[in-house]
């Protein structure tokens, strides 16, 4: 199954504000996510509570990227990344 990724405006704006080091980590993790969405190092998991319609992957020890599955077929999964930030920024 292949994974197609897209990014909403809020994600892109937050990405641009990150340091180059964190941006590089994001790029690397997104590439891994596209190839292996359930790779153990991503810690891909469904969220609960007010963010229950989203899932999260680890970017670094503290940074997370939140996404939703937009469309899923038997051969492809399309996801949209909505938010990126530190654990505290995203979850309060």
Q: Taking residues 12-34, what's their average pLDDT?
A: 98
CA diameter of the chain: 37
pLDDT in tens, 8-21: 999 999 999 999 99
**What's the mean per-residue pLDDT of the chain?**
96
**Contact status, residue 70 vs residue 79, Cβ threshold 8 Å:** yes
User: What range does the domain containing 79 cover?
Assistant: 2-91
Structural domains counted in the chain? 1
Buried b (16+ CB within 10 A) or exposed e, 20-45: eebeebbeebbeebeeebeeeebebe
Neighbours of 57 (CB within 10 A): 24
Residue 1 binned pLDDT confidence (cut-offs 50, 70, 90): confident
Residue 40 confidence class, pLDDT cut points 50, 70, 90:
very high
The CATH number of residue 65's host domain is 3.30.2310.20
């Amino acid at each position: 199954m292949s994974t197609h990724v897209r990014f909403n405006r809020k994600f892109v704006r937050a990405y641009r504000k990150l340091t180059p080091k964190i941006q590089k980590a994001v790029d690397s993790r997104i590439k891994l996510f596209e190839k292996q969405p359930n790779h153990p190092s991503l810690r891909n998991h469904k969220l609960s509570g007010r963010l229950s319609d989203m899932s999260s992957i680890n970017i670094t020890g503290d940074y997370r990227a939140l996404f939703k599955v937009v469309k899923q077929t038997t051969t492809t999964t399309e996801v949209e990344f909505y938010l990126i930030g530190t654990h505290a920024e995203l979850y309060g």
